[in-house]
Amino acid sequence: MSNQTITCTHLDQIGDFPSNFTVCPQCVEMGDGWVNLRQCLICGQVGCCDSSKNTHATKHFHATGHALLRSLQPGDSWIWCYVDEVGIQGHPAGANAQ
Ligand SMILES: [Zn+2]
Ligand SMILES: [Zn+2]
Ligand SMILES: [Zn+2]
């Protein structure tokens, strides 16, 4: 998996954000639940995944154009680019085991 050709042109925009989030703040505000958490790697905003009712991570991309996110699920180490539609396994920015 690590030898794949990476076609994402947004990797230099990745910021350094804490990953110790346990809730989707927008879902909490609405009183809804979520399935998995995702985090925008451009601004650090936390949202919920596409399996969640409110898909806040994808909505964040549509609202801001921020292309990159990572999974906040323990053990996951991948990032996803909405624009290039490429997932990168084992990316350092996806590692959130701290
Ligand atoms: Zn990209
Ligand atoms: Zn949400
Ligand atoms: Zn963002």
Judge residue 56's burial from the number of C-beta atoms within 10 Å of its C-beta, 0-12 exposed, 13-18 middle, 19 or more buried. Answer: buried
**β partners of residue 82:** none
Judge residue 46's burial from the number of C-beta atoms within 10 Å of its C-beta, 0-12 exposed, 13-18 middle, 19 or more buried. Answer: buried
Task: Check whether 17 has a pLDDT greater than 50.
Answer: yes
Map out the domains of the chain as residue ranges. Answer: 11-94
- Closest ligand to Cα 8: 1
**pLDDT tens-digit series, residues 36-51:** 999 999 999 999 999 9
Which class is domain 11-94?
alpha beta
Backbone angles phi, psi at 32, to 5 degrees: -105, 170
Among 61, 64, 63, CA closest to 82: 61
Cα of 4 vs centre of ligand 3, distance in Å, is: 26
Q: Record the pTM.
A: 0.90
* Type of residue at 45: Q
